[in-house]
Structure 1
Amino acid sequence: MSYDFNEAKEHIVNSYGRLDPVITHGEGAYLYDSDKNKYLDFTSGIGVSSLGYGHEKWIKATSKQLKTLVHCSNIFHNEPSVKLAKELTEKANMNKVFFGNSGAEANEGAIKLARKYSYDKYGADRSTVLTLLQSFHGRTITTLKATGQEKFHKYFFPFTEGFDYVKANDLEDFKARLTDEVCAIMLEAIQGEGGVIPLDKEFVQEVVKICNEKDVLVIFDEVQCGIARTGKMFGYNNFDVEADIVTVAKGLGAGLPIGGFLCSSKVADVFNPGDHGSTFGANPVVCAGASVVLDELCNEKYFEKITKRGAYVKELIEEAKNPQIVDVRGMGLMIGIKVKCDPTLVQKEAIKKGLLVLTAGKDVIRLLPPLVITKKELKIGIDIILEILSNIEN
């Protein structure tokens, strides 16, 4: 059956600016379309397909689980969710985890957890959550309000109250906004949608220190930069700090929908039965696949491999000295190339040359390849980007 663009337009809500290829299947770090074109994938479904496509151990684990139990709801226990919870909390050095379905849902849960912790301890007037300008935390009404980008705040009023925004890497602005009404701060180690901008280590360390002194919870949104993406278990592990709550999604599922928040011992027992829930959360099939992700990627040997491959990509880009390139930033295999030209032009030209890339903001080419990508494949993709940029006039 061929893909009918008119039927898609007629039956699917027009909320995405889709690109032309109709993707049919994938293998390794490559995707294929309905016209049998082959694309090297530097997007991994916006950081989701961490194991690439057709990973044998992941397919075996999820297929086996499909044949035994697909869903039973959280009224009952299921073994894959407990196995994943144990593995994830141990690798994360956290106490407990709640499983949901997406990054936005994970962040919603983290906000609820922080507010209940503060309510139980200090009463109702301590509920404000600080986030950073240029942050992105999701598409629900609450996580849109948590997102520190005004362009996302159109149309959908009224929003959930109780948020304020801090300038990234500005300690004085943070101190000025840290009032007695604040219960938590939510940070991305790297602002992905905001332009692939890593936070300064000194800023993060001082923020965490002050929050610990004032019993203000520290939430790290690791939806995009977590699960080995930066060459560490989480992006914030690069800053030598500890978190009270950590949110996860995307790469943990390797293609199937999962989200969740990890709790330190401080907040592990804040929720009681009925305080929070998710019908599809802790789905056995998704959890079985996620256990393979942790086993394959979340170890020191693979962290080192990701770190080296990220450094290799940066080296290739910097050595080219292309006049269109303003900056190269990021950690591990979460890389942003700031350019003088329109990044969407590069994105569209790359498709013609068999490469898929992302953008972030008005001037950044964003690279989130599968974490199993080879050094040779990285070189092929970067050469294509550099060739495109070399053909664009300054």
Structure 2
Amino acid sequence: MTQEITRATFDEVMVPNYAPSAIIPVRGEGSRVWDKEDKEYIDFAGGIAVTALGHSNPTLVDVMREQAGKIWHLSNVMTNEPALRLAKKLTEKTFADRVFFANSGAEANEAAFKLARRYAYDHFGPEKHEIVAFYKSFHGRTLFTVSVGGQAKYKEGFEPTPAGIKHCDYNNIEQLKAIISDKTCAVVMEPILGEGGIIPADLEFAKQVRELCDQNNALLVFDEVQSGVGRTGTLFAYEQTGVTPDIMTSAKSLGNGFPVGAMLATDAVAKSFTFGTHGSTYGGNPMACAIAEAVVDIIDTPEVLEGVKKRHDLFVAGLNAIDQKYHVFKEIRGMGLLIGAEVVDQYAGNAGKFLAAAAEEGLFVLVAGPDVLRFAPSLIIPEQDIAEGLARLEKAIATVVEQTQAA
């Protein structure tokens, strides 16, 4: 007999670190999702910037089936063809010479931070170990990555956390100058703050960060877990900054929902990960890498990348049109299909109300902190889905505005 599964089942059997909505999606196709009651939703969330090619993408389904019929997993005492093909493509398409595969963005960042410290240890000694990162940044949920991340709430109750980490304000070069030193082994930054409110790096700021790293013999680490693999309209966002990092991380869109992460590095830096210094049981497994290779092949094309820029303009125009009627947004910002709409002071702290109202109207959106609505849909979302989703968003916003005025 099949056991009935409901939202209440979560409260019975799952660790309560999440508070999922009552919606239980059971089927997806492209940028549409259906729940257990067969209610349809348009997906502007993309699984938090993950399903870059939509749900149940037929090409990826075929690749998965083909690889599943060959081999799923090998220990890392051997290599495999899909991993090598994917690594070769990533190095050919980026600044990097070497790749390490992991299972997630947090794992890729963990590897990056360890590599940065190991490189400094090898070349300058143990005193050069400090990492500088930015307030409001997010780099994952491991103990090391929450420590580098610039949001204290994620560290609370888990202290003592790893030491030797400093923070300053994003896009504030003077603060960075004040804390970077000859003890700094790396500066870690997102080219566009994701969880921190969808804030792109000022180009001059990014350039000066690179210069400060060079002056202090520190590595520049770009976290492109959310911004990478076509999300911003280029394969990786660093291409738009005019700055080249020494280490870069990727995940999310890389697997379109299949767990995979990657750390990319120059040859000179990667050499510090000598035999036995780091590893991952599942990292680089054939299934993940076969799917990720297909994702990269599809996304890194003029058609898709130019399409991201066109869809960006459609979103921004639509959000501006909504704002002209309801005056709820302070600023609309972002790159490509990673877009943030900061709410006006009247709704500060209540971005979640718009998210909940949107779900009622059959639309998935995200927040990036309590004040910003975030949109991170499929990179190939049909234009008619954008139009319909924005229409549903307008209804949701109208509802929240009406409720607020009536209160």
For residues 248 and 302 of structure 2, the distance between their equivalents in structure 1, rounded to whole angstroms, comes to: 20
User: 1:352 aligned to 2:360?
Assistant: yes
In the alignment, what sits opposite 2:393?
385
Contact 1:193–1:360 (8 Å) recurs in 2: yes
User: 1:374 aligned to 2:382?
Assistant: yes
User: Which of the residues 326, 331, 346 maps onto 1:327?
Assistant: 331
In the alignment, what sits opposite 2:188?
186
Give the CA deviation at 1:202.
0.8
User: 1:88 aligned to 2:90?
Assistant: yes
| Structure 1 segments unaligned to the other structure (5+ residues) | none
1:1-394 matches, within 5 Å, as 1=2, 2-320=4-322, 321=324, 322-340=326-344, 341=347, 342-391=350-399, 392=401, 393=404
Deviates more, 1:376-385 or 1:40-49: 376-385
Give the CA deviation at 1:389.
2.0
Give the CA deviation at 1:236.
2.0
Matched position secondary structure for 1:39: strand
The letter for the 2-side match of 1:348 is A
For residues 235 and 30 of structure 1, the distance between their equivalents in structure 2, rounded to whole angstroms, comes to: 27
What do the CA deviations read for 1:341-367 (whole angstroms, capped 9, x no partner)? 211111111111110111111111111
What do the CA deviations read for 1:327-352 (whole angstroms, capped 9, x no partner)? 10100000011113211111111111
Contact 1:107–1:247 (8 Å) recurs in 2: yes
| Structure 2 segments unaligned to the other structure (5+ residues) | none
Matched position secondary structure for 1:232: coil
For residues 354 and 264 of structure 1, the distance between their equivalents in structure 2, rounded to whole angstroms, comes to: 45
Matched position secondary structure for 1:220: strand
- What is the aligned-residue RMSD (CA, Å)? 1.2
The letter for the 1-side match of 2:367 is T
For residues 318 and 178 of structure 1, the distance between their equivalents in structure 2, rounded to whole angstroms, comes to: 40
For residues 211 and 182 of structure 2, the distance between their equivalents in structure 1, rounded to whole angstroms, comes to: 16
What do the CA deviations read for 1:17-39 (whole angstroms, capped 9, x no partner)? 10111110100111111000111
Give the CA deviation at 1:138.
0.6
Matched position secondary structure for 1:26: strand
Matched position secondary structure for 1:184: strand
The letter for the 2-side match of 1:231 is G
Matched position secondary structure for 2:312: helix
For residues 213 and 7 of structure 1, the distance between their equivalents in structure 2, rounded to whole angstroms, comes to: 55
Deviates more, 1:299-308 or 1:342-351: 299-308
For residues 266 and 166 of structure 1, the distance between their equivalents in structure 2, rounded to whole angstroms, comes to: 28
What do the CA deviations read for 1:67-89 (whole angstroms, capped 9, x no partner)? 11000111111111001111111
Q: Structure 2-normalised TM-score?
A: 0.94
The letter for the 2-side match of 1:174 is L
For residues 210 and 360 of structure 1, the distance between their equivalents in structure 2, rounded to whole angstroms, comes to: 29
Contact 1:113–1:270 (8 Å) recurs in 2: yes
Give the CA deviation at 1:292.
0.8
Same amino acid, percent of matched pairs? 37
Give the CA deviation at 1:295.
0.6
What do the CA deviations read for 1:130-187 (whole angstroms, capped 9, x no partner)? 1011100111111010110122221111101111002111111000011111010010
For residues 102 and 18 of structure 2, the distance between their equivalents in structure 1, rounded to whole angstroms, comes to: 24
Q: Structure 1-normalised TM-score?
A: 0.97
The letter for the 2-side match of 1:23 is P
Give the CA deviation at 1:40.
0.4
For residues 93 and 207 of structure 1, the distance between their equivalents in structure 2, rounded to whole angstroms, comes to: 18
For residues 8 and 384 of structure 1, the distance between their equivalents in structure 2, rounded to whole angstroms, comes to: 28
What do the CA deviations read for 1:313-335 (whole angstroms, capped 9, x no partner)? 11221233231111101000000
Contact 1:336–1:364 (8 Å) recurs in 2: yes
Contact 1:338–1:364 (8 Å) recurs in 2: yes
Contact 1:3–1:22 (8 Å) recurs in 2: no
Q: How many residues align?
A: 394
Contact 2:166–2:179 (8 Å) recurs in 1: yes
Matched position secondary structure for 2:268: coil
For residues 171 and 8 of structure 1, the distance between their equivalents in structure 2, rounded to whole angstroms, comes to: 45
